[in-house]
């Protein structure tokens, strides 16, 4: 693991690192924020998965999570959204290929050799940060847009690995959206039964979430027709899923929206991750 940068932030350290990924078959870059509490002992960690076109850097710089994480004593992990490099398959469209991994393990070429983002997040990067940073094996997960989709589906599929869950404007029902059908068919093939494990609405009906969850959605989001938030709200009601689903009047899909409610989400995770600590 190579250190690319480390900067003091709210008395903690915001670092950016690179390593050779076995899962993705290329170098991967990620960021970790360690709060000041990590100087004296291990701390729980909140994973933030980013959306289409993003790298590790977008949320690290724009989401404003570090101040809240320092207040509560949580580490933050910001993974990249896809493998990258000259040898990695790509597409001219912004919503497929590099920057658009959708947190799945691709089974179709040309994507399969590198686009193994599900394994990367849930196994390889998880093991790497636990081994190299002052982080407890106690994890929350959140994300925005494509990353909200990733957070919800990964947590519901792995309830033993995550202790808290939230999302900002997630792609809620990708099997029924152009932000989903295009990518899932490209990465996984045309058999839609293989898509089910990557749709939070279908997983809510099948598995649900072991605890409560927090969803924030901007009421003036320009992508509401693609995100389909009503389908997730209805699935939560249908399955009597404990949680809070908030439509935030006037907010769009930007990081101004994420930044506005970042404190609420970090506090939500802290309440659950710091229990019995």
One DSSP character per residue, 97-161 reads: BTTB-TT-B--STTTTTT-BHHHIIIIIHHHHHHHHSSEEEEEEEEEBTHHHHHHHHHHHH-TTT
Tell me which residue has tokens 């003091």: 8
Q: Looking at residue 172, what is its pLDDT? A: 98
Q: pLDDT per residue over 31-86, tens digit each?
A: 999 999 999 999 999 999 999 999 999 999 999 999 999 999 999 999 999 999 99
The single residue of 80, 163, 199, 221 carrying the catalytic annotation is: 221
Q: pLDDT per residue over 71-85, tens digit each?
A: 999 999 999 999 999
**Nearest-angstrom CA–CA distance, 241 and 197:** 18
* Residue 121 pLDDT level (bands cut at 50, 70, 90): very high
pTM of the model: 0.97
Whether 127 is catalytic: no
Q: pLDDT per residue over 85-120, tens digit each?
A: 999 999 999 999 999 999 999 999 999 999 999 999
Give yes or no for residue 222 having a pLDDT over 80: yes
The single residue of 72, 139, 253, 269 carrying the catalytic annotation is: 253
Q: Looking at residue 275, what is its pLDDT? A: 84
* Residue 254 pLDDT level (bands cut at 50, 70, 90): very high
What is the average pLDDT across 190-204? 96
Q: Looking at residue 277, what is its pLDDT? A: 62
- For the chain, the residue count is 277
Classified as helix, coil or strand, 80 is coil
Whether 145 is catalytic: yes
CB atoms within 10 A of CB 181: 14
CB-based burial label for 71 (10 Å; 0-12, 13-18, 19+): middle
The single residue of 145, 166, 177, 200 carrying the catalytic annotation is: 145
Whether 253 is catalytic: yes
Give yes or no for residue 276 having a pLDDT over 70: no
- State in words which class domain 2-274 has: alpha beta
What is the average pLDDT across 242-260? 98
What is the average pLDDT across 184-208? 96
Of 253, 246, 200, 247, whose CA–CA distance to 219 is shortest? Answer: 247
CB 184 within 8 A of CB 136: no
Looking at every residue in the chain, the average pLDDT score rounds to 97
* Residue 234 pLDDT level (bands cut at 50, 70, 90): very high
Give yes or no for residue 171 having a pLDDT over 90: yes
Give yes or no for residue 236 having a pLDDT over 90: yes
Share of the chain above pLDDT 90, in %: 99
């Amino acid at each position: 693991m190579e250190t690319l940068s480390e900067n003091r932030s709210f008395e903690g350290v915001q670092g950016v690192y690179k390593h050779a990924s076995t899962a993705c078959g290329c170098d991967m870059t990620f960021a970790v924020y360690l709060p000041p509490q990590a100087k004296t002992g291990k701390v729980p960690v909140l994973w933030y998965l980013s959306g289409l076109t993003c790298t590790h850097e977008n949320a690290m710089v724009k989401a404003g999570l570090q101040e809240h994480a320092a207040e509560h004593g949580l580490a933050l992990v910001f993974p990249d959204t896809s493998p990258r490099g000259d040898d990695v398959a790509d597409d001219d469209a912004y919503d497929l290929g590099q920057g658009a991994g959708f947190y799945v393990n691709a089974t179709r070429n040309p994507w399969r050799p590198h686009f193994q983002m599900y394994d990367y997040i849930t196994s390889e990067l998880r093991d790497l940060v636990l081994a190299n940073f002052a982080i407890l094996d106690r994890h929350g997960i959140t994300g925005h847009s494509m990353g909200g989709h990733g957070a919800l589906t990964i947590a519901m599929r792995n309830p033993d690995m995550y202790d808290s869950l939230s999302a900002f404007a997630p792609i809620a029902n990708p099997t029924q959206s152009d932000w989903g059908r295009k990518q899932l068919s490209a990465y996984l093939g045309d058999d839609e039964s293989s898509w089910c494990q990557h749709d939070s609405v279908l997983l809510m009906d099948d598995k649900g979430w072991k605890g409560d969850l927090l969803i924030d959605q901007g009421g003036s989001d320009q992508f509401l027709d693609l995100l389909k938030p009503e389908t997730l709200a209805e699935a939560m009601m249908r399955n009597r899923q404990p949680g809070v689903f908030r439509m935030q009047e006037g907010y769009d899909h930007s990081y101004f929206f994420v930044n506005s409610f970042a404190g609420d989400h970090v506090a939500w995770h802290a309440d659950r991750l710091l229990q019995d600590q």
